[in-house]
Structure 1
Amino acid sequence: MSTLLLKNIQTLVTCDDDDRILQAVDLFCEDGFIRAIGPRLPQSADTVIDCGHYWCYPGLINTHHHLYQVFSRNLPQVQNMELFDWLTTLYEIWKGLDRNVIRLSSLTGMGELMKHGCTTCFDHHYVFPAGTGDLIGAQFAAAEELGIRMFASRGSMDLSKKDGGLPPDSVVQTVDEIMEDSARVIEAYHDPRPGSMRQVALAPCSPFSVSAELLRQSAVLARQYGVRLHTHLCETRDEEYYMLAHHGVRPLEFMASLGWTGPDVWYAHGIHFNDEELRELARTGTGVAHCPISNMKLSSGVARVPEMLELGVPVGLAVDGSASNDGSSLMEELRVAYLLHRLHASAKAPSGYQVLKMATRGSARLLGRDDIGSLEAGKCADLFLVDSRRLELVGGEYSPADVLATVGLRGPVDYTVVHGKVVVKEGRLTTIDEEQAAAHARQCCRDYLAKA
């Protein structure tokens, strides 16, 4: 039995149904779960943190990533490309992925997330070069080493260049191969229990790199196993033109015809939905992972998040792959999302606190989790702490609920706690040697790029 007690928290932002913001309270965790919140709790604990000067928040939840892309970020040759050209160029690098690249890029990307308050990471991995072994297992091993809660996906592609898709032949598989391995990954790794540290979704890459049959069979298999479905959708106008040319319908209508709407489905990006499609997302409970920095970097457009929220579309926040973001900080995404929608929607834009809730409660909803996303008794003890005495936060004390999006937080958080365990302390990862991990990852990255 492990216990943690946060004493006399200056401000605790719960993100619960009542939007409670509590002052001078304690929070007691036992075996990974919050057992009590209140003033002057009587419990003692193995680990006690004096939080008299700390703001406490629910852990951030990342709903779309491509961790393998950490090793191909900031490459000069792709900086001014849009999505289709960007993908075609980078696939020539990504076809060289192996287990070591996957493990170390996952360690790097998730470590960066954790240092900035993220406690759960969903990753969309869909590049499986022949003969590379269990890449999803390598990701879960990295997550376990770090102590982060991970939601992986068995992604897939079955349309290569010769079939009219974008990727090279060496990274696509047949539908039968994908379905067989999808079942294996679910059976090996998916844990549906409350407090689970590892879960699996099925996630074909995108409508322009997979067949209708792969999408159809993935939906059937996911529902047989009770796991969720994820893909990219409506990210660019090029995708819309591709779908109209090849299938005669817009992307959402195509996906709906294959069983890809409902509360167990969420899409990455969702920029180019029209009014009718937004209403259909709301009606079916189909979600959207909002990736503002990636959308800006690739000149893809601005997702209609204010309208989605008004209609009741489930919306979470995400960093997307590090090659289209060049970073892996959901904390940075908070402020960019807030400012982007202020620019485009003015008074109709979500407030700083609403963006925080998008990254916590909203993101938890996309992942089908009701045990994370808020700080309440019975929920997982996933949280982070920020020292309110920081120089860069002077003047931001008046609204701790908004400050992360309005003022923003430069640099790492002070503490991150996942399932009741301190995994970041004073801005440093506690579970790995950061310098050693960075050195190993840097050398692996150099070797990987040199082979491309």
Structure 2
Amino acid sequence: MTTAVRRVFEGAYVATVDTAGHEFDGGHVVVDGSRIVAVGAGPAPVWAVDGLAAPGAAFAPSVTTRIDARGHLLTPGLVNTHHHLYQWLTRGIAQDSILFDWLVALYPTWARIDEDLVEAGAAAAMAVLARSGCTTVADHHYVFPQGSGDILGGIVRSADTVGVRLHGTRGSMDLGRSQGGLPPDFAVETTAAALEASAAAVEKYHDPSADARVQIAIAPCSPFSVTADLLREAAILGRSLGVRLHTHGSETIEEDAFCHERFGKTPTQYLDDLGWLGDDVWMAHSVHLDEHAIARFGATGTGTAHCPSSNARLAAGIAPIPQLLAAGAPVGLGVDGSASNESGQLGTEIRQAVLMNRLRAGADGFSVRDGLRIATLGGARVLGRDADLGSIEVGKLADLALWRIDGVEFAGLADPVAALGLAAMPPLTALYVGGDPVVDEGSLTRADERTLAADAARASATLRARA
């Protein structure tokens, strides 16, 4: 028999992001161990502050900590549905390039990464994500140079160092330039090697449990860097192993033109024919979708990782997010690789998503709550974790972000949620993953930020020297 630490939050503006959209001004949230046991208006119930067992629970907590959350906004932890953590080491390069030119400029450098360099870059990137309210990180890694060690293992260790949940992927590229693809031949693998390594990564690192800290998906990179054989066989493999599938799709007009020229189809039609639409699949970007593609995403439950800052940085366009949501397709928020979004913060992407989508949908076409929802519950749905993550509800995991909104930047702000959706990103007072503090008073609790920064700077310089 075990007892749990209890944390009692009182006085915050609680945005639950549950299906009914409940919000409580001066509300409470009670956490026992890793799970939420009470949410509501006003002060916490007497049983919570007196250290008694929660209703229906067998045991009372051994320690109760009361947290005065007045002057704060309490939200679910943010969910990042698309990133390339290794790219923290190559920020600020090819600043004025579109995607294809940017990739060509960076492939030669990326082909010289190794396990140690990636671990250093990933730790710094996840530290920045955590300090911007992110509790779950989906990483798409697809560059595995020969002799580079266990790169995925380095990313897993980095997530543990910072304390966030990781949805890692074993990505791949097998369509080199000599075969008509975009990446240079030295940066790709064979189809067989990619499939074998993908299966091994799932066996080694994937945890299917409800409270998993690490899960793995299979993720061939994109239609212009992967053969049809790899896409088809990867989908079969992923489903046989019970893991999710991820790839880039419809990011740019150049990708659309590539698919029409090479396959006579749109990217969505091409991926659909290869088994790459379904409620176990999520695409990165989904910028250039026609009405047929949007309808197929909705009908099949195919998810999208919306990356507004990266799409703007690379001039890719504005994704039809309101239309995807109206069609019933899952949508989450993503930072994308830090080499195409040098900020690396997820909290700022909420505001960016609100502003970008209003350019397409009008001033009333995408609200601040729409932005918060795709950053939390929407992202959890995209990753298949919405039963346990993404909202503040009794029984769910206590992944929580506590934002300070009583500073001068927010004085007089009529709507606390607008602090995330329209104003400057609020300072993060605390971040909890499964009830464990990962950020406290704005600083990491499990790692020294100066050490992470020095390690990442050193790794970046080493990589530049190799290139």
Structure 1 residue 73 corresponds to structure 2 residue 91? yes
Aligned to 1:223: 239
Does structure 2 conserve the Cα–Cα contact (< 8 Å) formed by 1:7 and 1:52? no
Structure 2 portions without partners, runs of 5+: 52-62
The CA deviation at 1:46 is 4.9
Partners of 1:7 and 1:302 in 2: CA distance: 38
State the match for 1:88 in structure 2: 104
Instruction: Name the aligned partner's letter for residue 37 of structure 1.
Output: V
1:413 paired with 2:408, answer no
SS in structure 2 opposite 1:279?
helix
Once the 2 structures are TM-superposed, how far is the Cα of residue 385 of structure 1 from its aligned partner? Answer: 0.6
Q: Which letter does structure 2 place at the counterpart of 1:265?
A: V
- Distance between the aligned counterparts of 1:24 and 1:137, measured in 2? 43
Q: Determine if contact 2:174/2:188 at 8 Å carries over to the other structure.
A: yes
Maintained 8 Å contact 1:13/1:57: yes
Q: Distance in 2 between matches of 1:154 and 1:291?
A: 20
- Match among 34, 37, 44 for residue 35 of structure 1: 37
Q: Find the counterpart in structure 2 of residue 371 from structure 1.
A: 388
| Equivalent-residue separation in structure 2 for 1:242 and 1:163 (angstroms) | 13
Equivalent of 1:362, from 375, 378, 384?
378
**How far apart in 2 are the matches of 1:415 and 1:156?**
36
**Equivalent residue, structure 2, for 1:130:** 146
**Contact between 1:381 and 1:417, CA under 8 Å: does it hold in 2?**
yes
Report what 2:123 is aligned to. Answer: 107
TM-score under structure 1 length normalisation: 0.96
Letter in 1 for 2:67: I
Structure-2 residue corresponding to 1:332: 348
Q: Structure 2: how far apart are the matches of 1:204 and 1:399?
A: 42
| Superposed displacement of residue 348, structure 1 | 4.6
Shift of 1:394: 1.0
SS of the counterpart of 1:150? Answer: strand
AA aligned to 1:64 is H
Aligned partner of 2:400 in structure 1 is: 383
Aligned to 1:49: 67
Deviation at 1:52, TM superposition (A): 2.5
Identify unmatched segments of 5+ residues in structure 1. none
State the Cα distance separating 1:134 from its structure 2 match.
1.2
Deviates more, 1:347-356 or 1:115-124: 347-356
Letter in 1 for 2:25: Q
- What do residues 148-178 of structure 1 show as CA deviations (whole Å, max 9, x unaligned)? 0110000000011211112222321111111
Q: For the Cα contact (< 8 Å) 2:73–2:417, is it kept in 1?
A: no
Q: Rate the CA distance shift 1:46–1:432 in 2: closer, same or farther, 3 A.
A: farther
Structure 1 residue 289, shift from structure 2 partner:
0.8
Identity of aligned residues (%): 42
Q: In structure 2, the residue corresponding to 1:322 is in which secondary structure?
A: coil
TM-score, scaled relative to structure 2: 0.93
Give me the whole-angstrom Cα distance separating, in 2, the residues matched to 1:349 and 1:148. 32
Q: Which amino acid aligns with 1:429?
A: L
Q: 1:14 to 1:318 in 2, by over 3 A?
A: same
Match of 2:77 in 1: 59
Contact 1:154–1:185 (CA<8 Å) still a contact in 2?
Answer: yes
Residue 55 of structure 2 aligns with which residue?
none
After the TM superposition, which residues 167-316 of structure 1 pair with which residues of structure 2 at under 5 Å, given as runs? 167-316=183-332
Instruction: Report if the CA contact (8 A) 1:3-1:28 is conserved.
Output: no
RMSD after superposition = 1.3
Secondary structure of the equivalent of 1:400?
Answer: coil
Q: How far apart in 2 are the matches of 1:47 and 1:404?
A: 27
Structure 1 counterpart of 2:104, which letter? Answer: T
Measure the CA separation in 2 of the matches of 1:196 and 1:67.
20
Secondary structure of the 2:389 match is coil
SS at match of 1:260: coil
Residues 5-51 of structure 1: CA deviation (Å, up to 9, x unaligned): 13313211100011110233332222311122243232343543221
How far apart, in 1, do the equivalents of 2:421 and 2:38 lie? 28
Shift of 1:422: 0.9
CA shift, 1:207, in A, is 0.4
1:414-435, Cα deviation, whole Å (9 max, x unpaired): 1111110111111111111111
Deviates more, 1:339-348 or 1:251-260: 339-348
2:14–2:28 CA contact under 8 A, matched in 1 = no
Distance of 1:270 and 1:379 partners within structure 2: 30
Is the partner of 1:384 in helix, strand or coil?
strand
What is the count of residue pairs matched by the alignment? 448
Distance in 2 (CA, whole Å) between partners of 1:73 and 1:222 is 32
Per the alignment, in what secondary structure is the counterpart of residue 38 of structure 2?
Answer: strand
Contact between 2:12 and 2:28, CA under 8 Å: does it hold in 1?
A: no
Amino acid at match of 2:77: G
When structure 1 is superposed on structure 2, of 170-179 and 247-256 the one drifting more is 170-179
Helix, strand or coil: the match of 1:27?
strand
Indicate the residue corresponding to 2:134 in structure 1: 118
How far residue 318 of structure 1 moved from its aligned partner, in angstroms, is 0.4
